[in-house]
Structure 1
């Protein structure tokens, strides 16, 4: 494979526990993924309070994740959403550089992601301002002789008009301003033609590559379920409509579900897509994975899981929910507990979704 696969933990809502993340890292390492980027939107140290130094608990977590990734032959990355930096560049650029410097000096960070997604426009020349900031970060990394990957997520990371409705009309020259004299080694995140792209084709990516003047790094918003409507689903179907992307996409990063263990179904299938396996084989592998996750109950609740995936919890009758609870209680697995927690509202929609 020419395209590398990884995780971008970039969702809103409840954060993973350390043990959950460790297990997820181990799983993707075994499956051939190559990196893990820590960038949850609800981690204040990376977004709302990014200007503050990491406290002792966060320092311990970041060091731990870095060590785990190194042991598992995964590249460890951190994504920072530097709110207001384009508004107060002279003051905040040094704060951002200092935070990156801390990561490089204290952890084995291999990827730095600067994320301007889901942030309202602060200036009329947002593209130029973001371009300047990314260049400054790149210059700093170059001076350190660093081999760290630098990935940039623009405010308008898809052609989807929903971004214009939520965050303001994209400036006419935004894309041109972003890429002007931007070093080709700097990667750019792209989610496809939509924020939630049901299909991502070779043609879709080639258009994005032409727009940015480089192969994009795909930020895939499947199976993530942190939004108003998608939070009503548990996604246990495989990736589909993502074929012929190898070598067209530079890298493919998956934004996972809040239900950490249940991510295994989709994550396993993405590798199968890149290997060109047929849909029947991928479906058989999906069923095998679900039987491992839910060994006692899967056969009796597979129909309900399909409804949860395709239509959401509101499509379940009271009888279906009762049957699901009864059968799932027979399993004492982490995956079964995640379904129980979902039914009990633990993963409820976060009102902060798509806000800054």
Structure 2
């Protein structure tokens, strides 16, 4: 059994092109990916400048992408982060949010995710204030699919260190206050979980009063440290038995759109094959599908350098050999490797703090 699979484009750093997004949708739709949330941290008009409309050219691109998703049988969604709107949800904030929702509806949005992640949690009665915003949106938006990302979307204590300690029983309160038809995102036991177990998801479901929607932070590779590595290996630590514990499984992709399809395809394979899934064999099969036989095998042969060692541990000589090797291929995947070697995908702390 395979749960609903999809993409939540929620990374920091350099943005994908609209052409790349369309290519990812077309490729992954064939493997059962049925939804796509557009929510890059670099789109200020969905975050700190959320009250402003997207520039006309960008809005037209989004509308065309929504049509492409529909043509592929993929539901197009937007992840909106109305920055700290829950601090003062007054008449002005409501009017601004209503205007934004109307604009998004014009773009062909079929799903909306309200994202309260990466914001301070020091507001009194945080769950109640956020639930008030969600209920208002639900009443003013004619969309059947609404999801919420809590401020504390994992038990990982790193969130308490960065965004102030979480209020007691925050998740339980939020789950009780939100309509049962609303999905709630969860990343697992960590922000970037090494593994996700059915037992953990059952525990989370008890607190939320519903099964969670998994926001899987693999193969995402944003941030100063992770952007120095390419995430190419097939999924591990996600047994097929998760399917019965989730309302959906959304992956946060890597900065490299072509290469991200390799692990994405293996996730579908892991659900399909169950106990017969072998992650390295699935990686090789997916790499050949995405990159072709020769380049696919080359990438698999270089996993130790590209994924494990990363830019910080590759000598100048080794990097030069890799540039020579991948420079021989006329393929978007090879060009992404070359751009990564050149530092084009490096995500700085400043990007994370300002996007």
Q: For the superposition of Structure 1 and Structure 2, which TM-score range results when normalised by the shorter chain?
A: over 0.9
Does 2:273 match 1:268? Answer: no
Q: Number of residue pairs matched?
A: 351
CA positional deviation for 1:42: 0.5
More helix by share: 2
Separation in 1, partners of 2:121, 2:341: 37
Partner of 2:59: 59
1:259 to 248, 256, 261: 256
- Residue 322 of structure 2: aligned partner: 324
Evaluate the alpha carbon distance shift between residue 34 and residue 302 of structure 1 in structure 2; reply closer, same or farther with a 3 A threshold.
closer
Q: Name the structure 1 match of 2:110.
A: 110
- Secondary structure in 2 aligned to 1:246? helix
Distance 1:166 1:97 in 2: 31
Q: Is the 8 A contact 2:176 2:209 kept in 1?
A: no
Q: For 1:19-44, what per-residue CA distance to the aligned partner results, in whole angstroms no more than 9, with x for missing partners?
A: 11110010111111100110001101
Gaps of 5+ in 2: none
Could you tell me which residue of structure 2 aligns to residue 154 of structure 1? 150
Any idea what the Cα deviations from partners look like across 1:177-198, whole Å, max 9, x if unmatched? 3123321001100000000001
1:135-179 deviation line (CA, Å, top 9, x unaligned): 1111223xxxx3430000000000000000011111113223312
What is the distance in 1 between the residues matched to 2:300 and 2:32? 28
TM-score (norm 1): 0.93
Instruction: Please name the residue that 1:237 is paired with.
Output: 233
Taking a change above 3 Å as real, the CA distance of residues 147 and 121 of structure 1, as seen in their structure-2 partners, is closer
SS at match of 2:120: coil
1:334 aligns with 2:332: yes
CA RMSD of aligned residues (A): 1.8
Counterparts of 2:200 and 2:323 in 1: how far apart (Å)? 41
Name structure 1 gaps, 5 residues minimum.
none
The answer to whether the 8 A contact 2:59-2:107 is kept is no
Report if the CA contact (8 A) 1:294-1:333 is conserved: no
Residue number among 279, 285, 289 corresponding to 1:288 in the alignment: 285
Residue in structure 2 matched with residue 222 of structure 1 by the alignment: 218
Measure the CA separation in 2 of the matches of 1:211 and 1:221.
21
Aligned to 1:94: 95
TM-score (norm 2): 0.93
1: CA distance, partners of 2:272 / 2:285: 18
Q: Is residue 5 from structure 1 mapped to residue 1 from structure 2 by the alignment? A: no
Q: Which residue of 1 aligns with 2:245?
A: 248
Q: 1:93 to 1:306 in 2, by over 3 A?
A: farther
